Amino acid sequence: MDLLKNRVYPVIFSFGAVYLLSAVIVYLSLAPVEVKPPGGVYFFDKVLHSFCYFFLSFIVVNSSLRSAKPRPVIFAFCYAFSLGAFLEICQFFVAWRDFEIGDILANIIGSGIGSLITVYRKG
């Protein structure tokens, strides 16, 4: 257990993991989509947005705790929310993607839950 706690957790919750996940989210958000999903998949898209930003903010909180940043929950939420909002604005200017307010709301929900779950986990 000490090996896992001392060697694996710092790698998983390092800022390298944050930047890697951020890069994956940027790519997935701006890459052309060849096939638009049918109308019934609309809800799944929002769940996917929430999950990605939940995971991102959760990793940012845990990385911030290791680096002694002040107010890691607020920092994580602001980072994830800013990235999501920026990418949605970029999608407005890209011909092959669509700007959607629903995506921003899903990003906010995922970021908020991912940031706050660490507070409840720590007790």
Token digits of residue 110: 């995922």
- Looking at residue 99, its pLDDT comes to 87
Distance in angstroms between the alpha carbons of the first and the last residue of the chain: 21
- Looking at residue 11, its pLDDT comes to 58
Query: Whole-angstrom Cα distance, residue 37 to residue 92?
Result: 19
Residue 71 Ramachandran class (φ > 0 left, ψ -120 to 50 alpha, else beta): left
Give percent of the chain above pLDDT 90: 40
Report how far apart, in Å, the C-alpha atoms of 69 and of each of 48, 62, 65, 72, 117 are. 28, 10, 6, 6, 18
What are 61-79's pLDDT values in tens digits?
A: 888 776 666 788 899 999 9
What are 52-61's pLDDT values in tens digits?
A: 999 999 988 8
What are 8-65's pLDDT values in tens digits?
A: 566 566 778 889 999 999 999 998 877 666 665 667 788 889 999 999 999 888 887 7
